[in-house]
Structure 1
Amino acid sequence: MFCPLVCLWPLLSCLPSPMPPILPPPTPCAADSTPRPAGDAVPHRNQKPPTHRQRCRITTSSSSSPLSAARVLIANDPTPRAFSALFKAASSSSPSPSLGSQLHAQAVVRGFLGDGDNTILSTAVLNFYASCREPDLARRVFDRMARRNAVTWNALIKGYAQAGRRDEALALFRCMRRQGGVAPDKYTFPALLSGIGRNHGGGCVQELGGAVHAQVVKSGLDKDPFVGASLVSMYAATGALEDVKVVFDDVDTLDPVVWSSMISAYINCKEEEAALLTFYKMLCQDIKPRQFVYSSLFAICGSMSMLEMGRQVHAHSLKNITDKDAAMTNALLTMYSDCGCIDDAWRVFESNDIVDVISYNSMILALGQHAQPKEAAELFRQIKFSGLIPDEVTLLNLLSAFNHAGLVHEGLHLFDSMLDIEGIKPTYQHYACVIDMLARSGEIEESMKTIKEMPFEAETSLWRIVLGACSKHGDIETGMKIAEMLFEMEPYEPTNYILLGNICARLGRWAEAEKVRSLMEKRGIDGDDAFSWIEMGQTTHKFGVDDRSHPISEEIYRNLDRLIGSIKAAGYVPDTNFATHSTEKDRREESLRYHCEKLAFAFGDLASPSGDTLRIMKNLRVCGDCHSAYKYFSLVTGRKIVLRDNHRFHHFYNGACSCGDYW
C-alpha cells in the first residue's frame, strides 16, 4: 500500500525562522464543600554531574527563594503592597501552602487585613491559595472581603475549577452575575471552561460547555483569542471536533495561543495529519509557535515514525526557540527514540545543561526499548549520585529495561529493594513488569505464583502476557487453563485465540490449532491484520501480508525472492511453526516468504543506496521467522536494520540482533 503523508519539510526549511490562617468560617453561597484532591507534586531539579557521556553545567536549585524573600520582607517592616507582591510572586512559582499561611497570618497580625477592606492584598492572598489547590482556604478569604471585583471572582472560580470541583465553580459563576453584580470578562470564561474540560468524563459536559459558550457569545467575547483558545480546548476534551472547528473559524486572530489549542485539539481527536497541516498554515501566516506546540509535534512524529518530518520540526524549533524547555526537550528525545535513532536521543539528552528526573526517566525508557540495559542502569546510578530522587516511573522503566534484556536476577533484586532502599511501594505496573520478566524467561510457575501473591487483582492483559510466554515456551497445560479463563472474560478478543493457536502450532499439534481457528470463525472473530511501513524520502510506504498493491510491486517481489535465495545460501532455514494455522503443510514455507516486514525490507533495499540504514516499523510483534530472516538480511546486504514492533526495537547488523534473540 502506498501512503503519502503530509509532506511539509521542504516548505518548513524555507520559512523564517505550617501556621493556620486567622480567619472566620465561610458564609454559604456556592455548592457544598467536597474534599479537595491532593496537590500536584513538583519534581525536584538539581545538578547533573559530568560523566564520560555528558558535560553539563553545574547549577543549583532556587526553590528556597520565596522563603528567603519572605524573611527579608518580614525583617524590613513591610507594607500591604509588599505583601501583595510577594504573594503574587509565590503564586507563579511553586506555591507552598504552609509558607502562604504564615505570611497570611503576619498580614492579619499587622492589621493589613483586619478590617477586610484591602481588596488588592486580599485578592493576592486568595489567588495564592487557589494556586495551591486550596480553594476552600481561598473561599474563606473571599467571604471576608468587603469589596470584590472581577479579578477576585475569577481567581476563586479558577481555584475551584483547577481543583476539579466543577459544580462549585459553576455555582460561583452564577453568584458572580446574580448576587455580585459583576459582569464576566475574558478571564472568567477560560477559568470556568478549564473546569468543564477537566471533567470531560461527565455525562452533561457537552451541555454545560454549550451553555457556557452561549454566555460567551452573549457577553460579546466570542472573538477574543484567550476565550477562543479555552473553548477550543474544552470542546477538544469532549471529542467534539466539529465544534472545535466552528470556534476556531469564529476567532479571527493571529494569536499563537489559539493556533496552539487547535493543534492540541487535533491531536486529542487522533487527527495527527490535520495537526501537522495546521502547523504548516500557522507558519505560512508568520505566527511563531510556542514551545508546547513543538512538544506536541515531536510526539506526533514519534508515534507515526516520521523521522524526516521530526528532524525538520526540530530544525525549525532551533531557529525560533531560544529558551530551553524541559518538556520540549524530553518530547524531542522520545521522538528520536521512537523513530529508531537512539544515538540522536542520547545527543539530545546530553545537550541538556539541566536535567530533572523526568529527563532521566525518558532516557532510561528509551535505552530499555533499544536493548541497552547497562546504559540504563548507569543512568539510574547517576540520578542517585546527582542528588535527585528516583520516582516510581524511574524504577518501572529500569525494570522494563532488565525485562527486555532477560536480566531476571537484576530485575528481581531491584524489585525486592524498592520499598526498603528506594522508599517506593510497588504499584500494579511494577508487579506486571516482574511477572512479564519471569514468564518471558520461562519461569511460568513462578510468574503464576507472583500473580496470586500480589496485592492487586490481575487484569486480563496480565494474564495475556503469561499466555504469550506459554506460547513461546510451549507450556500448553498452563496455556490452556489461562486461555479458557480469558475466553470467558473476553470472548471476542482475538489475541487470546491467536496465542493459544500459536502454542498448538509450535508443538506441531495442528489439529488443535485448527480447532482454535474454527472457534474464532464460529464466533465471528477476526485477528488484527499485520502491516509494516517504511519512510523513504518524503513518503511512507505501507505493506500488508502478501501485499501487491504497491506501484512497483513486481520489482519488490523479484528482489525479495533474490534476497531469500541469498540468505538460504548463507544458512537461513524457514521456521514453519510461524506459518498461518490454516495453511496447507506443503505451502507453509511459501506463506512465510511474503510477510509484511519482509516486503518492507525488500522495498527499502531497492529504494535506498547500498549500505544505508533501514528503519522499518510493524504494528504487531515480529514473528520468529522474520526475526531470523532479518539477521541474515543484515549479513548478506551489509546493512544496519532497525525494526520496531509493538513491544521494542531490534537493531540488526552483521547477522546478529541487539536483543540477543530474546524478546
Structure 2
Amino acid sequence: MPVFPPPTPCALNSTSSPARDLFDAIPHRNAKPVPCRRRTRRHGGRTTISSSSPTLSAARDRIADDPTPRLFSALFKAASSASPSMGAQLHAQAVVRGFLDDAGSIILPTAILNFYASCREPDLARRVFDAMACTNAVTWNALIKGYAQAGRREEALELFLAMRRQSHVAPDRYTFPALLSGIGREQGGGCMQELGGAVHGQAIKSGLNRDPFVGASLVSMYAARGALDEVKVVFDDVDTLDPVVWSSLISAYVNCKEEEGALLTFYRMLCRDIKPRQFVYSSMFAVCGSMSMLEMGRQVHAHSLKSNTDKDAAMTNALLTMYSDCGCIRDALRVFNSNDIVDVVSYNSIILALGQHGHPKEATELYRQMNCAGLMPDDVTLLNLLSAFNHAGLVHEGLHIFNSMLDMEGIKPTYQHYACVADMLARSGQIGEAMKTIYEMPFEAEAPLWRIILGACSKHRDIRTGTKIAEMLFEMEPYEATNYILLGNIYTRLGRWTEAEKVRNMMEKRGIDRDDAFSWIEISQRTHRFGVDDRSHPISREIYRNLDRLIGSIKVAGYVPDISFAAHNIKKDRREESLHYHCEKLAFAFGDLATPSGDTLRIMKNLRVCGDCHCAYKYFSLITGREIILRDNHRFHHFNKGACSCGDYW
C-alpha cells in the first residue's frame, strides 16, 4: 500500500496563495463551457426531461445581484450535477472576490471541496482541504468519499487512518459509508475482499457497526461481491426498522439472483409496518418481471398506489418493464402514457418492450415522438430500435438507422450495434453479408456473436458456414453445450441423422450436458413448472389426456408435426410422439384445464421455443379461441386466431 501523507491544514489569509494556486491548477479554466444537449419541454401534456439547463445563466444573474459567500456555497451544490465547468468558474469568482480569505470560514471551502470530490477530482479537493485553517468530520468525509469514488481506494483508506490519528476528529456514521462507497463497486478478487473486511472491522471497533447508515453501506458492499452470508450477518447485527437498511438487503438479494429472498424480505417489511421507498418498489417490480409473476407484480403495484409513494423515473420505468416482461404490453404502454415526466430512459424502456413484443411500427413512432419532444436519443435508444427491426425482419429499415447513426444522431456504433446488425442479416438469410459485417467491424467478434450466426445457419440449413463456425467455437468454448446443439440441429434439419448422432456422442465423451428445457405458467398466484415429458404434476394424468385431445384436434385443423425438432437420440418411430410432450405444450395443456375457456394464457420458457411448438401454438389459439402469450429467452410471441405476432420470423 503506498504511503499517503496525512493532510496538514495550513492557514489562509489575504496574503497567502493556496487558493490561487489551486485555481491555477484547474485544467482549462478559461475554456468556454461546452453547451449541454439536454432540454426540458412540455409536450403533449407531459414534461420531457432532457439536457439543456438554464442553471449557468441563472447563477450569473444571482451572483451579479447578490454576490455573497453563502450564495456561492448554495450554487456549488448545484454545480456538480448541472455543469462542472460552472463550478470552476464559481471557484475563480470566489477567489477573485476574496471570499476564501476569511481563515475562520469553513462553509464555502467545504462546498468547494464537495464539488471537486463529486466531480471525480480528488486531488483538487485535497488542495482545498489543505488550504483550510480548520477541518472537521464533514470535510474529512467528503475528501475520503472523493478518493473512494474515484477508484483510489488505498488513498482513501490512508486518509481514514490519518483521520483517526487526529485527536479532535473522530469517524462518525458518515465516514464509513464514504469509505465504502468505492469499495462496494469493486467485484474483484482477494484484495478488495480484505479491504472491505478491514473497514468492517474498523466500524466494529468504532462501535458504529450497528448504526443503520453504516449497516446499509456494509450490506451494499458485501452485496456487490455476492457475499450473501456476510450480508445476512450485517443485517442481523443492525436489527433495525430503518427502511434504508431493508432496501439494501433487498438489493443484495436481487444482486445475488435470490429473487425469492427479495420477495420474502419485502413481505417482512410490510409485516413490520416499514414503508417501502421508491427503490424497494423498483426492485420488486424487477423481481416480479424476471420471474414473470404477474399477479404478484400487480399486487406490489397496487400497494405502491395505496401507500401514496411518490413515483420517480426509475420506479415508473421498472413498473413499465415489469408489465412488459410478464407479457402485458398494453399495460406497459398504459404506464408510459400515464407518466407525467418522461426521460430518455423511459423512451428506451418502452421502445425495447415494443420491439420484444413485435411492434416495430409503434417503436418507430415513439422514437419520432422522442425527437419531437426535444429528447436526444442515446446509443441505447438506437440499439433498442435496431433490435425492434431485427425481431420483425425489417432489414432495410435497420440498415438505414445503423448507417446514419453518426451523421443523424452523432452516435458512434458500438460492438452491440454491429452485433445486432449481423444478427439481423443472418436471421434474414443473408449469412454472407452478416459475416462481412463481422469481419469489417472495428471490434474482435466474441463467441456469443459467432453463436448467433451459427443459429442462423441452423435455421437456413447453411451446413458449410455452420460447420466452420462450429469448429471455431469448439476451440473457443469446448464445453459450451449450445454450440454442439446448434450444429446438431443443422444436421437434423437436413435429415443427416448419422452426423447428428456423432455430435451427440462428442458431447457425451466430453462430459457436456445440455441445459434442460422447462416452461412455467402462473395460475392463481401459483407457479406451475413443466419439463420435457414431465409427469410430476399432481394432475399429470388429466394434463396428458387433455394434451392428447388437443393434439388430435389441431391435426384435424391442419397441424403437421415437424420431426426435425425431435431430440437426436430418440428412435425414429418415436420422434413424432416425443414432440407432443415438449414442456411448452404441457404448460398450455395445464393452463387450458385450469382456466375458464377464452382466458388469455401467459407461458414462459427458459430456452428458445422450437419450431414445432411454435406451429402447434398457432393451432392451439385457433381451436380454443384463446390468446396465448409465450415468452422464450429471446422474445415474446402473441398467438391469436391461428397467427403469431412474429409473422413466423424469429
- Pick the TM interval, shorter chain: over 0.9
Which whole-Å CA distance do the structure 2 matches of 1:425 and 1:441 have between them?
25
Moved more, 153-162 or 558-567: 153-162
SS of the aligned residue for 1:403 comes to: helix
Which whole-Å CA distance do the structure 2 matches of 1:646 and 1:355 have between them?
28
Which whole-Å CA distance do the structure 2 matches of 1:646 and 1:454 have between them?
27
Summarize deviations over 1:492-524 as a string: whole Å, max 9, x none: 111011001100010111111111111111111
2:340 is the counterpart of 1:340 = no
Say whether the 8 Å CA contact 1:23–1:140 is kept in structure 2. no
Partner of 2:72: 83
Say whether the 8 Å CA contact 2:521–2:604 is kept in structure 1. yes
Which whole-Å CA distance do the structure 1 matches of 2:482 and 2:74 have between them?
60
Moved more, 262-271 or 173-182: 173-182
Moved more, 216-225 or 497-506: 216-225
Task: Letter of the 1:70 partner, please give it.
Answer: A
Partner of 1:238: 225
Task: Letter of the 2:433 partner, please give it.
Answer: E
Which whole-Å CA distance do the structure 2 matches of 1:60 and 1:375 have between them?
21
Which whole-Å CA distance do the structure 1 matches of 2:315 and 2:47 have between them?
21
Counterpart among 164, 173, 180 of residue 193 in structure 1: 180
Instruction: Sort the Cα spacing of 1:77 and 1:546 in 2 relative to 1 into closer, same or farther, 3 A.
Output: closer
- Tell me the CA shift for residue 392 of structure 1: 0.5
Which whole-Å CA distance do the structure 2 matches of 1:369 and 1:206 have between them?
39
Instruction: Sort the Cα spacing of 1:267 and 1:618 in 2 relative to 1 into closer, same or farther, 3 A.
Output: same
SS of the aligned residue for 2:98 comes to: coil
- Structure 1: tracts of 5 or more residues without a match: 1-20, 27-40, 51-55
- Tell me the CA shift for residue 58 of structure 1: 4.8
Instruction: Sort the Cα spacing of 1:121 and 1:405 in 2 relative to 1 into closer, same or farther, 3 A.
Output: same
Instruction: Sort the Cα spacing of 1:425 and 1:90 in 2 relative to 1 into closer, same or farther, 3 A.
Output: closer
SS of the aligned residue for 1:226 comes to: helix
- Tell me the CA shift for residue 60 of structure 1: 7.6
Partner of 2:503: 516
Instruction: Sort the Cα spacing of 1:454 and 1:114 in 2 relative to 1 into closer, same or farther, 3 A.
Output: same
**1:466-481 aligned within 5 A:** 466-481=453-468
Which whole-Å CA distance do the structure 2 matches of 1:414 and 1:171 have between them?
50
Task: Letter of the 2:21 partner, please give it.
Answer: P
Counterpart among 43, 51, 61 of residue 49 in structure 1: 43
2:426 is the counterpart of 1:432 = no
SS of the aligned residue for 1:413 comes to: helix
Which whole-Å CA distance do the structure 2 matches of 1:620 and 1:42 have between them?
44
Partner of 1:604: 591
Moved more, 353-362 or 168-177: 168-177
Which whole-Å CA distance do the structure 1 matches of 2:350 and 2:637 have between them?
17
- Tell me the CA shift for residue 385 of structure 1: 1.1
Say whether the 8 Å CA contact 1:48–1:354 is kept in structure 2. no
Partner of 1:37: none
- Tell me the CA shift for residue 77 of structure 1: 4.3
Bigger RCO (CA 8 Å, 6+ sep): 1
TM-score normalised to structure 1 length: 0.91
Summarize deviations over 1:277-302 as a string: whole Å, max 9, x none: 11111111111110011000000000
Partner of 2:204: 217
SS of the aligned residue for 1:583 comes to: coil
SS of the aligned residue for 1:316 comes to: helix
Say whether the 8 Å CA contact 1:534–1:541 is kept in structure 2. yes
Counterpart among 245, 252, 257 of residue 258 in structure 1: 245
Which whole-Å CA distance do the structure 2 matches of 1:245 and 1:650 have between them?
40
Say whether the 8 Å CA contact 2:415–2:443 is kept in structure 1. yes
Partner of 1:356: 343
Counterpart among 492, 502, 516 of residue 505 in structure 1: 492
Moved more, 67-76 or 252-261: 67-76
Which whole-Å CA distance do the structure 2 matches of 1:262 and 1:212 have between them?
19
2:495 is the counterpart of 1:495 = no
Query: What is the alpha-carbon root mean square deviation over aligned residues?
Result: 1.8
Counterpart among 21, 24, 34 of residue 21 in structure 2: 24
Which whole-Å CA distance do the structure 1 matches of 2:256 and 2:51 have between them?
39
Moved more, 472-481 or 71-80: 71-80
Which whole-Å CA distance do the structure 2 matches of 1:232 and 1:218 have between them?
18
Partner of 1:140: 127
- Tell me the CA shift for residue 46 of structure 1: 3.1
Moved more, 615-624 or 154-163: 154-163
SS of the aligned residue for 1:621 comes to: coil
Say whether the 8 Å CA contact 2:50–2:375 is kept in structure 1. no
2:55 is the counterpart of 1:66 = yes
Summarize deviations over 1:420-449 as a string: whole Å, max 9, x none: 111111100000000000000000111111
Say whether the 8 Å CA contact 1:574–1:589 is kept in structure 2. yes
SS of the aligned residue for 2:516 comes to: coil
Moved more, 117-126 or 632-641: 117-126
Counterpart among 484, 488, 496 of residue 471 in structure 2: 484
Instruction: Sort the Cα spacing of 1:192 and 1:517 in 2 relative to 1 into closer, same or farther, 3 A.
Output: same
SS of the aligned residue for 1:23 comes to: helix
Summarize deviations over 1:547-596 as a string: whole Å, max 9, x none: 00000000000000000000001000000110111111111100101000
2:369 is the counterpart of 1:389 = no
2:515 is the counterpart of 1:532 = no
Partner of 1:633: 620
Partner of 1:579: 566
SS of the aligned residue for 1:486 comes to: helix
Partner of 2:544: 557
Summarize deviations over 1:609-635 as a string: whole Å, max 9, x none: 000000000000000000000000000
Instruction: Sort the Cα spacing of 1:43 and 1:152 in 2 relative to 1 into closer, same or farther, 3 A.
Output: farther
Counterpart among 313, 336, 354 of residue 326 in structure 1: 313
Task: Letter of the 1:24 partner, please give it.
Answer: D
- Tell me the CA shift for residue 180 of structure 1: 7.0
Say whether the 8 Å CA contact 1:95–1:132 is kept in structure 2. no
**1:392-471 aligned within 5 A:** 392-471=379-458
- Tell me the CA shift for residue 61 of structure 1: 6.9
Say whether the 8 Å CA contact 2:41–2:48 is kept in structure 1. yes
- Tell me the CA shift for residue 190 of structure 1: 0.5
**1:371-390 aligned within 5 A:** 371-390=358-377
Which whole-Å CA distance do the structure 1 matches of 2:493 and 2:553 have between them?
26
Partner of 2:261: 274
Instruction: Sort the Cα spacing of 1:236 and 1:508 in 2 relative to 1 into closer, same or farther, 3 A.
Output: same
Instruction: Sort the Cα spacing of 1:154 and 1:58 in 2 relative to 1 into closer, same or farther, 3 A.
Output: closer
Partner of 1:541: 528
Which whole-Å CA distance do the structure 1 matches of 2:95 and 2:571 have between them?
87
- Structure 2: tracts of 5 or more residues without a match: 1-17, 24-34
Task: Letter of the 1:352 partner, please give it.
Answer: N
2:600 is the counterpart of 1:613 = yes
- Tell me the CA shift for residue 181 of structure 1: 4.7
Say whether the 8 Å CA contact 1:45–1:356 is kept in structure 2. no
- Tell me the CA shift for residue 113 of structure 1: 0.7
Which whole-Å CA distance do the structure 2 matches of 1:315 and 1:581 have between them?
48
Say whether the 8 Å CA contact 2:313–2:342 is kept in structure 1. yes
Say whether the 8 Å CA contact 1:43–1:356 is kept in structure 2. no
- Tell me the CA shift for residue 202 of structure 1: 4.0
2:201 is the counterpart of 1:204 = no
Instruction: Sort the Cα spacing of 1:77 and 1:386 in 2 relative to 1 into closer, same or farther, 3 A.
Output: closer
**Number of matched residues?**
622
Which whole-Å CA distance do the structure 2 matches of 1:242 and 1:368 have between them?
39
